[in-house]
Amino acid sequence: MKRTYFITGGAGFIGSHLSERLLKEGNNIISIDNFNDYYDPILKEKNYEIVKRTAEENNCHYKLYRGDIRDKNILEEIFNNHSIDGIVSLAANAGVRPSIEAPEYYVDVNLMGLTNLLEISKNNGVKSFVFISSSSVYGNNKKVPFSEKDAVDNPISPYAATKKAGELLCYTYHALYKMNIACLRYFTVYGPRQRPDLAINKFTRLMLKGEEIPMYGDGTTARDYTYISDIVDGTVKALNYVMQKDKYIYDIFNLGGSNPITLKKLIDVIGEATGKRPKIKKLPMQPGDVNITYSDFSHAKEILNYEPKIKIEEGISNFVKWYQSNILEVQ
Ligand SMILES: NC(=O)c1ccc[n+]([C@@H]2O[C@H](COP(=O)([O-])OP(=O)(O)OC[C@H]3O[C@@H](n4cnc5c(N)ncnc54)[C@H](O)[C@@H]3O)[C@@H](O)[C@H]2O)c1
């Protein structure tokens, strides 16, 4: 069935991939993005062009509003202009370390912006909502793998605290207004168009230039990396789940790969994919960084039939090929 979805942060890394996938499935997409300069907005313009082309190729309606989720007027304009069936809330300030420098800004965007979205959804009777949370809510959880049943009361960055608070706000709207809401805890997402501030993109860039790779800590910290097509797949499944009319849903899902690899191993895998020998510069651990992320995604598997497919070597190889043909050629 053709539906109209509202995707916030639609010109970003994950938002543009999700938009493409939903358009290819024949849906209409309405989107908002403020094209902020957290990283080069030219990259977001390129993402926008790709999504626009996908919409044309699939004969679907696509409109992106250039605006801010903290601006209630533009949200009202959007809901007045379009009949929205479901929402995916991706727009956020996404970096962990910068959130320590600018906590007010993170709270403002990630929580006031989210509240505006929940309010406008409630006011317009839109009952299906997917909120994108993060594995960072687990902080330095001692038990691995991380399960949705674990207590997440010890976030160690303002970013993580806003994501946990966002999950709570979502619960409140579910309880008060019977909205169906899924909160998705993404575990580090990578693939073509990945944010340039994230490790895989940054290390690839430095390695190809023959520059040193800053390695924070002794290389034993580990991350559970999730390839973009697997994340998009899980997100679409969660969206279909909350679209069910006869259900009363609030749920939290880990979307990860359940296969953490150490920082040292990650650097080696990128070295192989780029054909370069990594030059490592050892630096102390950074505040806010967690030691390990490791997802138990059995709940998402059971309820959503989520099953990540792409292994790290294949995913990194895809990323490096994309980087070489899309980023290097324009530098
Ligand atoms: N990439 C990851 O590894 C990862 C992991 C866990 C969670 N997440 C979450 O997934 C979401 C998307 O992340 P991403 O990696 O695609 O980041 P991204 O920065 O590429 O995308 C976010 C988009 O939101 C837009 N945006 C930010 N503030 C806005 C505002 N006030 N109004 C309108 N638009 C605004 C940005 O311009 C950007 O295009 C974020 O909520 C992030 O916290 C990402």
Domain regions of the chain by residue span: 4-190+225-256
Per-residue pLDDT, 119: 98
Q: How confident is the model at residue 328 (pLDDT cuts 50, 70, 90)?
A: low
CA 265 – CA 196 distance, rounded (Å): 20
Give the residue-averaged pLDDT of 143-157: 95
The answer to whether residue 142 scores a pLDDT higher than 70 is yes
| Per-residue model confidence as pLDDT tens digits over 9-61 | 999 999 999 999 999 999 999 999 999 999 999 999 999 999 999 999 999 99
**Half-sphere exposure for 156 (CA within 13 Å, toward CB):** 13
| Per-residue model confidence as pLDDT tens digits over 217-239 | 999 999 999 999 999 999 999 99
192-204 exposure pattern, b = at least 16 Cβ within 10 A, e = fewer:
bbbbeebbbbbbb
Q: Is 233 in the pocket of ligand 1 (CB under 6 A)?
A: no
What is the whole-number distance in angstroms between the Cα of residue 91 and the centre of ligand 1?
5
> SS3 of 48, please?
helix
Per-residue pLDDT, 71: 98
What is the percent of the chain with per-residue pLDDT over 70, rounded to a whole number?
99
CA 233 – CA 253 distance, rounded (Å): 13
Pick the CATH number of 4-190+225-256 from 3.40.30.10, 2.30.40.10, 3.40.50.720, 1.20.140.10: 3.40.50.720
The answer to whether residue 213 scores a pLDDT higher than 70 is yes
Q: What's the DSSP call for residue 286? A: P
Per-residue pLDDT, 329: 52
146-169 exposure pattern, b = at least 16 Cβ within 10 A, e = fewer:
bebeeebeebbbbbbbbbbbbbeb
Its pTM stands at 0.97
Q: What's the DSSP call for residue 112? A: I
- Of all protein residues, whose CA lies closest to atom 1 belonging to ligand 1? 189
Q: Is 75 in the pocket of ligand 1 (CB under 6 A)?
A: no
Q: How confident is the model at residue 215 (pLDDT cuts 50, 70, 90)?
A: very high
| Per-residue model confidence as pLDDT tens digits over 57-98 | 999 999 999 999 999 999 999 999 999 999 999 999 998 999
Instruction: Using CB atoms within 10 Å of the CB of residue 186, give its burial: 0 to 12 exposed, 13 to 18 middle, 19+ buried.
Output: buried
Q: Is 34 in the pocket of ligand 1 (CB under 6 A)?
A: yes
The answer to whether residue 331 scores a pLDDT higher than 50 is no
Q: Of residues 5, 62, 159, 225, which has the active-site annotation?
A: 159
